[in-house]
């Protein structure tokens, strides 16, 4: 049963990569942005489906957790996969945190640009949003896929 979920996660990752490949060749800015946002949404969906996949490893056929907190409540504290995911969530530079940053960025309106005049220049602040390059998201997707494959392999041996 869990391998069906592994397949579903893998398909979403593949589709996100496909959109990113098209983004780099798109000629219009709106099309590039649409392909980018579609790829991010598929990546976020993949992460959510990964959580469901983990619950299936533990024979929970009903739960559909959307967050680490929800999966912890459903499976308990002593689950190795939850410990691994929580370690990723506490990290600063990995696929989980990159997806968190992209989710935050994508779910909010853009920050308005301030006008600059000679009288109001005190310091220059740069918006340090997430890395929105195709290369960064491809790397995040690859890391997510590797993590998913490792979990599937570990549980298929049982």
Which pLDDT value is given to residue 3?
A: 83
**pLDDT at position 114:** 67
Confidence of residue 109 (pLDDT cuts 50, 70, 90): confident
Question: Would you give the end-to-end CA distance of the chain in angstroms?
Answer: 13
Q: What is the pLDDT of residue 21?
A: 95
Q: 142 or 121, which is more confident?
A: 142
Q: Which residues contact 2 (CB under 8 A, 6 or more apart)?
A: 53, 56, 57, 152, 155
**What's the pLDDT at 127?**
57
Across residues 34-47, what is the average pLDDT? 97
Half-sphere exposure at residue 101, Cβ-oriented, CA atoms within 13 angstroms: 18
Q: Quickly list H helices, 24-133.
A: 29-57, 68-75, 80-90, 95-106
76: left (phi over 0), alpha (psi -120 to 50) or beta: left
Q: Round to whole Å and give the CA distance between 54 and 126.
A: 39
State how far the Cα of 4 lies from the Cα of 18, in Å rounded to an integer: 21
Q: Please give the pLDDT value at position 72.
A: 92
Mean pLDDT of 124-135: 76
Mean pLDDT, residues 98-112 taken together: 90
pLDDT of residue 95: 97
């Amino acid at each position: 049963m869990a391998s069906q979920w592994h397949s579903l996660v893998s398909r979403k990752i593949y589709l996100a990569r496909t959109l990113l490949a098209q983004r780099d060749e798109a000629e219009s800015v709106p099309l590039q942005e649409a392909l980018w946002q579609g790829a991010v949404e598929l990546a976020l969906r993949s992460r959510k489906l990964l959580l469901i996949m983990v619950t299936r490893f533990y024979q929970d056929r009903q739960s559909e957790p959307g967050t680490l907190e929800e999966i912890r409540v459903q499976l308990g504290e002593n689950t190795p996969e939850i410990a691994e995911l929580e370690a990723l969530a506490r990290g600063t530079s990995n696929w989980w945190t990159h997806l968190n940053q992209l989710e935050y960025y994508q779910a909010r309106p853009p920050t308005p640009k301030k006008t600059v005049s000679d009288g109001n220049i005190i310091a220059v602040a740069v918006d340090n949003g997430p890395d929105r390059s195709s290369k960064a998201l491809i790397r995040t997707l690859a890391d997510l896929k590797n993590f998913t494959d490792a979990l599937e392999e570990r549980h298929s041996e049982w």
